[in-house]
Structure 1
Amino acid sequence: MGKFEEGNKKGKKFSSDNQPPNRGRKPKLYTIAKKAYNLSYSDFKDMRCYLMQLSRKELEDISKAVDTPIWIAILCRSYLKGASKGETQTLEETKMDLWGREVTSIKDKNSPVAEEPPRTLTKEEAKELWNSLNDEY
């Protein structure tokens, strides 16, 4: 089974000349959102930051709404799935996307330079961003 028999007239024999077409890589979620909604990367990051601050009920409402863009619904569902199973993979990916990978370098304890904490959106800023994105798209 699986071999091309000599008398077979259907199909073609698998060889170096007869290869299946390459589908390529799956596009990232941001790439889909960028092409479909003409979003900048900062808009994408701000939306992820906003969604992380919402309650479970608000995420469910957004993901079930008919007029919600698919990339936002996907993010909402992944946060809900992770919360129900106790997984942190989606949150870790969001954290790395928003603030970058943690730098592992040796720091001088006597250095006078203080690090700034990452900026988070206030509830008002998040609602304003959500409303502006809803109005635009």
Structure 2
Amino acid sequence: MSDFDRLFAAAAAARAKAHAPYSKYHVGAALLADDGNIYAGCNIENAAYPEGWCAETTAIGHLVMGGARKIVKAVVIAARIDHERVPGGRFCTPCGGCRQRLSEFAASPSTEIWAADPDGASQHFTMAELLPAGFVLET
């Protein structure tokens, strides 16, 4: 089974647990970490919408709590619960905040990120393509 297939399955399982009563937009993310494990998460909305957790944020939290520190590859599956596609037929890429979060944990600018729909169609990006001028603190 390919990395994409393994990540897609984990992201789909996470997406099935999404709590999105306000937007009806269910998202699952799965991250392949430098430790070889897959960490997944879903979006979790609350009544103070749009406050809540994005799927990528939840997955990064699991990655950190699992002891990993770098993302090698990622898959994000997003669609309304009725499987309605993103307007214009394009895939939903991570939001700006999640692009920054993913960038901070990405193994390199060439880290692979796939935006997918629930049927398995996807579009491939590198981290540098998603966030070409990300904020970086010098430490």
What TM-score range do you get, normalising by the shorter chain? under 0.3
Structure showing greater radius of gyration is 1
**As a proportion of its length, which structure holds more strand?**
2
**As a proportion of its length, which structure holds more helix?**
1
Superposition TM-score, scaled by structure 1 size: 0.23
